Amino acid sequence: MSEQQTLDTRGLLCPMPVIKTQNAIRKLAVGDILTVLATDPGVLHDIPAWCRINGHKVLDHSQEGRDIRIRIEVCED
Amino acid sequence: MAIQRKAIALLSGGLDSLLAVRVIQEQGILVEGVNFFTGFCVEGHTHAIRKKDQEKQKRNNALWAAEQLGIKLHIEDISEEYKDIVLNPQHGYGANLNPCLDCKIFMVGKANAMLNKARQMAEEKGFDFIITGEVIGQRPKSQRKDTMPLIARESGADDRLVRPLCAKLLPPTLPEREGWLDREKLYGFNGRNRKPQMALAKQFGFVDWAQPAGGCCFLTDENYSRKLADLWQSQGRKDYELDDIMLLKVGRHIRPAPHYKLIVSREEGENHFLSGYKKQFNSVNFVSHGGPLTLVDGAPTEDDMLLAARIAARFSKGRDAETVKVELLGKNGVGRIVDVVPMPTDDIPQAWYI
Ligand code: SF4
């Protein structure tokens, strides 16, 4: 079964949330879902860009006040 | 079928690295990028912090460049190891506290380690050589004809290091000798004139790229370097934590005495960013008037905290009031409310501003 994981990068500034996302995904398998929590609005740009480049899929994202949540599906490398 | 050769590129997001990758891609080489986070990178940070900048386009230049090029990008956090480069550069500093030559050697060395690791494991994912966007004569200290072989040698990359933009002015590298690359299709750029790069960008259809002012990081910035030097001097030793160097990017820094300094927020975004540090620093918080959150770094006495509050009050909405009510909050979370007289501007010596 695919795994669901959450990564909390709140308070960190870009590019740290992207680096942490990258490192978390390296340890996950295809089909797993990673939910990233962040506060730096830069992630709304950088994480989708990182996913496009590396072939992973952003399922959705939402924002409540300063809190941002992005869900990523790990795809074939 | 010929073996598909692969290269790893140091990708900053600036024009030179963008062009260097494209030149190599044109020769049928598969390229992936690597970008290093040193803690001093200009990327986004101040944008993310300062409210007035938040509407500006925030993008990570290296990611953006990778997407333009259609290549994968690895972003590596080297901030811990990088300390040694900033604190003890074997080849010294540039105009400010930028250790560019050591930095380049270190980064190429890191890329070389990635290359060797993959080769040892005989992985097909391995890389055959490294590319950088270096141009001879572009930077007075780190990019000179004599530093090119030095970087190749000291990084351990030797003749697996290719500089596509000035390769013709350097001895042939392994990929050229092996015929993986056609030397004739590499370039011989030299000096500070950017026209050849502009022309090549046009030829490749690049219309937009990052243009960092002095260099790729805050260490080339004079004001930033002065704050870093002040930090070392006040500590009595050269050292820093990641939080220290982040905070040097934020607020007004005022040092009334060697054992403490104030970090006064300049606007709402900085206020929010600094409030994340209240558990690690003593702080001045305004009660009766609107005012800037002020962290007090170091080991202030109670009297120092009162002076800090008076200075901070100078930047508050109560600057002309007789007294201003503030909460002096310790990093232990214990606070006390006091009334202070805002300090007249002329009483804050210019020398206190770092
Ligand atoms: S400007 Fe900064 S990141 Fe760029 S080479 Fe110099 S020290 Fe390294």
Which of B34, B60, B80, B275 is best to mutate for the A interface (most A CBs within 10 A)?
B60
A-facing residues of B in 70-109 (CB < 8 A) are 71-77
Predicted pLDDT of residue A2: 77
CATH code, B6-217 = 3.40.50.620
Catalytic residue among A5, A7, A12, A14: A14
Whether omega for the bond prior to residue B292 falls within 30 degrees of 0, making it cis, is no
Predicted pLDDT of residue B143: 85
Domain ranges of chain B: 6-217, 250-352
Strand, coil or helix: A63: strand
Q: Model's pTM, two decimal places?
A: 0.89
B49 at interface of A, judged by CB pairs closer than 8 A: yes
Neighbours of B271 (CB within 10 A): 18
Kindly give the residue spans of alpha helices, DSSP state H, lying in chain B. Answer: 15-25, 45-49, 61-69, 79-87, 100-120, 147-155, 174-177, 195-204, 222-235, 242-247, 268-275, 302-313
Distances (CA, A) of B209 to B71, B106, B219: 16, 25, 21
Average pLDDT over residues B205-225: 81
User: What's the CA gap between B294 and B169, in Å, rounded?
Assistant: 53
Predicted pLDDT of residue B207: 85
Predicted pLDDT of residue B108: 97
Phi and psi torsions of B136, nearest 5°: -60, 130
Q: Comparing B141 with B174, which gets the higher pLDDT?
A: B174
Predicted pLDDT of residue B7: 96
Confidence of residue B344 (pLDDT cuts 50, 70, 90): very high
When mean pLDDT is compared across B69-73, B122-126, B229-233, B347-351, the lowest value belongs to B122-126
Phi and psi torsions of B75, nearest 5°: -110, 120
Predicted pLDDT of residue B59: 73
Confidence of residue A13 (pLDDT cuts 50, 70, 90): confident
pLDDT, averaged across chain B: 91
Of all residues in chain B, the one with the smallest CA distance to A20 is B77
Domain ranges of chain A: 4-73
Phi and psi torsions of B333, nearest 5°: 90, -5
Average pLDDT over residues A6-32: 94
Q: Which of B54, B64, B75 sits opposite A18 (nearest CB)?
A: B75
Q: What is the pLDDT of residues B23-55, one digit of tens each?
A: 999 999 999 999 999 999 876 555 556 665 554
The β-bridge partners of B283 are: B295, B329
Which atom in ligand 1 lies closest to the alpha carbon of residue B98? 7
Relative to beta strand B30-37, strand B6-10 is: parallel
Pick the CATH number of A4-73 from 3.40.50.720, 3.30.110.40, 3.40.50.9100, 1.10.287.470: 3.30.110.40
